[in-house]
A and B are shown apart, each in its own frame.
Chain A
């Protein structure tokens, strides 16, 4: 395992610790986001044990619907407007239906990058709506202190990159080329930033709840 991957695991551990410490103070959205960090930590932690391509594909087949389902569900709880909530439900149905179809078509031991590309698209749509909602609920505090701003920004950047990576280049069932390996390094770097941003968002949410409790 590379140093970058070790650092990535460390960031995941930090994110999981922040989630566990703040869990009681978080709302449903950030609880679900925190759970996805813990799931990712477990999935990445056991990835050493799954060395072969089939085993890795099995891991992704189980991990992807859970991860994307929870993330879209987090957005469903974040949204206030009925129309946005309905779109979140459509995205959730797409994510779960997509995974079921992939399993039906390829089985558990084959995993298509297109599944993640489609799921990424669902999250991008949700995060764009999230930005729209944030704009409609403009607050006095600076954006950097707004947990949902960190959430949407990290989501939109990370999953756009992921959409590009999975939709255009990488197929998990094939051997990686050199270019794909470069993509993998870049992916690890982006993942570190992504989970760092999520940890910051959870921490800020926890802090804002504490602050609100002090006021009231």
Chain B
């Protein structure tokens, strides 16, 4: 009787300890899975927070540029126009001085309008990314320091205002980099669309850099962050002495990341 009792106890004990050990192991596995899930959610939240922060930074920057552009247009532009009117009313005997002053002011007004258009996103929204980029190419050509070619094809699909402004600002940043750092003589802007994506490519024939070892600067990381806001991709191809090719690719139907702000 006692032997049976001992056997039963040993059996029950073994079973109990196996069950308990399995329970603890199962608990540890579940706990770790929960921890990983929490970590993943925290990272996702951080990414969303960063994107939201970057988006509001862009919005503030855009609205500041808009304001500056308006101030220049309404304030300085207005005063220069008035000055031009006064100069044109000067006596005939001062004709040469009057003409050169008027030309100077007209040129200044023209430059000022271009600056206003550059600063303000309204031009891009009104005319579209294609015309805005073509105008950028014309402005670069007018500087006569380098040649800028522009190609576009299949621009049949509308982008949202946000997409157009962000893409245009990225193009401006890339063009500025090419003009300031690359010692290029030629720049090529090409933009094309299909039903899925819009592709913008900026290519120069400058000194280039080793893209594999390049850690990036603020301008490049800003472009990358902006394109990521549009759920797009940015790639840089470059080798020393072989120029730089920067390509931006954004989906036409953008996943609206501004929704993240509402979380």
A98 in the interface (beta carbon within 8 A): no
Instruction: Give the complex CA separation of A168 and B7 in angstroms.
Output: 11
B2, B8, B12, B31: the one contacting A134 at CB < 8 Å is: B31
Instruction: Give the complex CA separation of A164 and B16 in angstroms.
Output: 9
Q: Mark B18-52, 1 if CB is under 8 A from A, else 0.
A: 00100110011011101100110000000000000
A46 in the interface (beta carbon within 8 A): no
List residues 112-155 of chain A with CB under 8 A from any CB of chain B. 131, 134-135, 138-140, 143, 153
Given A160-B16, A164-B13, A168-B12, A135:B34 Cβ within 8 A: yes
Instruction: Give the complex CA separation of A157 and B8 in angstroms.
Output: 19
Chain A positions within 8 Å of B28 at CB level: 143
B9 in the interface (beta carbon within 8 A): yes
Instruction: Give the complex CA separation of A157 and B18 in angstroms.
Output: 11
Complex contact A179–B6 (CB within 8 A)? yes
B5 in the interface (beta carbon within 8 A): yes
Complex contact B35–A168 (CB within 8 A)? no
A177 in the interface (beta carbon within 8 A): yes
Instruction: Give the complex CA separation of A110 and B260 in angstroms.
Output: 69
Interface range, A side = 10 to 19
In chain B, what residue has the closest Cβ to A146? Answer: B31
Question: How many contacts between A and B, using CB within 8 angstroms?
Answer: 45
Chain A positions within 8 Å of B9 at CB level: 164, 168-169
Looking at chain B's contact residues, the main secondary structure is helix
Instruction: Give the complex CA separation of A139 and B34 in angstroms.
Output: 9
A5 in the interface (beta carbon within 8 A): no
Looking at chain A's contact residues, the main secondary structure is helix
In chain A, what residue has the closest Cβ to B33? Answer: A138
Complex contact A153–B24 (CB within 8 A)? yes
Instruction: Give the complex CA separation of A179 and B24 in angstroms.
Output: 28
Complex contact B20–A138 (CB within 8 A)? no
The CB with the most chain A CB atoms within 10 A, among B2, B27, B32, is that of B27
A140, A161, A164: the one contacting B35 at CB < 8 Å is: A140
Chain B positions within 8 Å of A161 at CB level: 13, 16-17
Complex contact B6–A138 (CB within 8 A)? no
Instruction: Give the complex CA separation of A181 and B86 in angstroms.
Output: 118
Instruction: Give the complex CA separation of A17 and B30 in angstroms.
Output: 35
In chain A, what residue has the closest Cβ to B35? Answer: A138
A32 in the interface (beta carbon within 8 A): no
Q: Which positions in B face A, CB cutoff 8 Å?
A: 2, 5-6, 8-9, 12-13, 16-17, 20, 23-24, 27-28, 30-32, 34-35, 38-39
Knowing that A153-B24, A168-B9, A169-B5 are A-B contacts, what are 4 other residue pairs whose CB atoms are under 8 Å apart, sorted by A's residue number?
Answer: A135-B30, A139-B35, A160-B16, A164-B13
